[in-house]
């Protein structure tokens, strides 16, 4: 158990690493708190929700949309939630995104916190205050940046996490290693997913290390002017492929990282693509894939990271060190279609 307070530009987030949901009543008064979760998590951990007002949503990215947010708002009104209510998202990234988004607009903003239950949400989605929903094929097109007041880790939730979701989470862990932490990259090369699943202390340490990487990057640049953009490594192309091909987020990011390594070679002389590919495969994720380049490019054009004629692409200089490289859209189209 470890409690760390991270300071952001105008708020704090309390991180409770490896605490357990029983600690929640100490930070959120049960009568004035409403949990939001999805059916998978609720069904697998029904006892843990006992004594808490809970809104249970249908699981899946396809429900990370405005109509789901509207239904949460309607249920909040039924619960007579007011400005003193705390909303707690207990789930994967879909649940934390929706919860943070609704909490930011309900009555112009109420207190919220997260209990991330997927590996991806533990190391990434729950951290940094980006809360939003998808619109059509455009991921996270609508949303807000607002920090949760707490993030509590209960590692027991991971017992029911499907294998595919473990792999999904490792995509973001590999991303963090690539852009920020070469010694963690070495560890990933030595370890396997199975070993992490078998040893509680190893997975706890890994989760905490990754959560801290993300929190520190966000601390430096909450509103994504420079440093935070590095977290988009693998995500530019990844997002374009994710909804179009019905890929899991982690799978799409893994493919995106593979191509970003290739593009890096052309701009920074990065020469460790093989190592990155080996690690991606080691954790059960895809690398090179066939996809409709033109279609992907059409979605890229709408990407939020595009500024005028250039696309800001995150590239690797070496493992553990990333840069943001503006690439003219017309060059990117050429590079992509040649790969």
Active-site residues, by number, are: 108, 130, 172, 214, 224, 228, 232, 235, 239, 249
Residue window 44-63: x/- pattern of binding to ligand NAD, with contact defined by CB under 6 A: x--------------xxx--
Binding of ligand NAD by 174 (CB under 6 A): no
3-state SS record for the chain: CEEEEEEECCEEEEEEECCCHHHHHHHCCHHHEEEEEEHHHHHHCHHHHCCCEEEEECCCHHHCCHHHHHHHHHHHHHCCCCCCCEEEEEECHHHHHHHHHHHHHHHHCCEEEEEECCHHHHHHHCCCCEEEEEECCEEEEEEEECCCCEEECCHHHHHHCCHHHHHHHHHHHHHHHHHHCHHHHHHHHHCCHHHHHHCHHHHHHHHHHHHHHHHHHHHHCCCCCCHHHHHHCCHHHHHHHHHHCCCCHHHHHHHHHHHHHHHHHHHHCCCCHHHHHHHHHHCCCCCCCCCCHHHHHHHHCCCCCEECCEEEEEEEEECCEEEEEEEEHHHHHHHHHHC
Confirm or reject binding of residue 19 to ligand NAD (CB under 6 A): no
CA–CA dist 326, 201 (Å, integer):
40
Q: Determine if 124 is a binding residue for ligand NAD (CB under 6 A).
A: yes
**CB closer to ligand NAD, 203 vs 327:** 203
Among 64, 153, 228, 229, binds ligand NAD (CB under 6 A): 64
The answer to whether residue 160 forms part of the interface with ligand NAD (CB under 6 A) is yes
Q: Which stretch binds ligand NAD (CB under 6 A): 24-32, 65-73, 89-97, 280-288?
A: 89-97
**What part of residues 276-295 is at the interface with ligand NAD (CB under 6 A)?**
none
Q: Shortest Cβ distance from residue 331 to ligand NAD (Å)?
A: 28
In the complex, the smallest distance separating the C-beta of residue 224 from ligand NAD, rounded to whole angstroms, is 10
Q: Minimum distance from CB of 99 to ligand NAD (Å)?
A: 11
* Angstrom distance (rounded) from CA 247 to CA 43: 25
Closest contact distance (angstroms) between CB of 140 and ligand NAD is 6
Site size with ligand NAD, rule: CB under 6 A: 31
157 binds ligand NAD (CB under 6 A): yes
Q: Considering the rule CB under 6 A, would residue 204 count as an interface residue with ligand NAD?
A: no
Q: Residue from 13, 33, 40, 273 that binds ligand NAD (CB under 6 A)?
A: 40
Nearer to ligand NAD among residue 106 and residue 129 (C-beta):
129
Interacting residue ranges for ligand NAD, rule: CB under 6 A: 38, 40-41, 44, 59-61, 64, 91-95, 97, 117-118, 120-121, 124-125, 128, 130, 139-140, 157-158, 160-161, 165, 168, 249
């Amino acid at each position: 158990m470890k409690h760390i307070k991270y300071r952001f530009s105008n708020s704090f987030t309390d991180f409770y690493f490896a605490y357990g949901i029983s600690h929640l009543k100490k930070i959120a008064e049960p009568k004035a708190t409403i949990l939001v979760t999805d059916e998978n998590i609720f069904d697998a951990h029904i006892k843990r929700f006992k004594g808490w007002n809970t809104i249970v949503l249908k699981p899946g990215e396809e429900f990370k949309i405005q109509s789901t947010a509207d239904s949460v708002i309607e249920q909040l009104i039924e619960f007579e939630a007011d400005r003193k209510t705390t909303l707690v998202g207990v789930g994967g990234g879909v649940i934390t995104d929706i919860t943070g988004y609704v909490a930011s607009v309900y009555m112009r903003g109420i207190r919220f916190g997260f209990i991330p239950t997927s590996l991806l949400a533990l190391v990434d989605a729950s951290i940094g205050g980006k809360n939003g929903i998808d619109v059509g094929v455009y991921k996270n097109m609508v949303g807000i940046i607002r920090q949760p007041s707490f993030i509590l880790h209960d590692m027991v939730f991971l017992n029911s996490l499907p294998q595919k979701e473990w792999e999904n989470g490792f995509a973001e862990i590999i991303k963090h290693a690539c852009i920020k932490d070469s010694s963690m990259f070495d560890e990933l090369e030595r370890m396997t997913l199975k070993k992490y699943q078998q040893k509680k202390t190893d997975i706890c340490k890994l989760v905490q290390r990754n959560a801290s990487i993300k929190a520190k990057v966000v601390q430096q640049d909450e509103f994504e002017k420079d440093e935070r953009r590095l977290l988009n490594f693998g995500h530019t192309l990844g997002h374009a492929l994710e909804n179009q091909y019905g890929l899991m987020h982690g799978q799409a990011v893994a493919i995106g990282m593979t191509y970003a390594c290739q593009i890096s070679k052309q701009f920074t002389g990065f020469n460790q693509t093989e190592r990155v590919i080996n690690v991606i495969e080691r954790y059960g994720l895809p690398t090179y894939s066939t996809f409709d380049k033109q279609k992907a490019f059409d979605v890229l054009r709408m990407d939020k990271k595009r500024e005028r004629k250039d696309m800001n692409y995150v590239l690797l200089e070496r493992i553990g060190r990333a840069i943001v490289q503006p690439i003219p859209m017309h060059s990117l189209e050429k590079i992509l279609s040649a790969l």
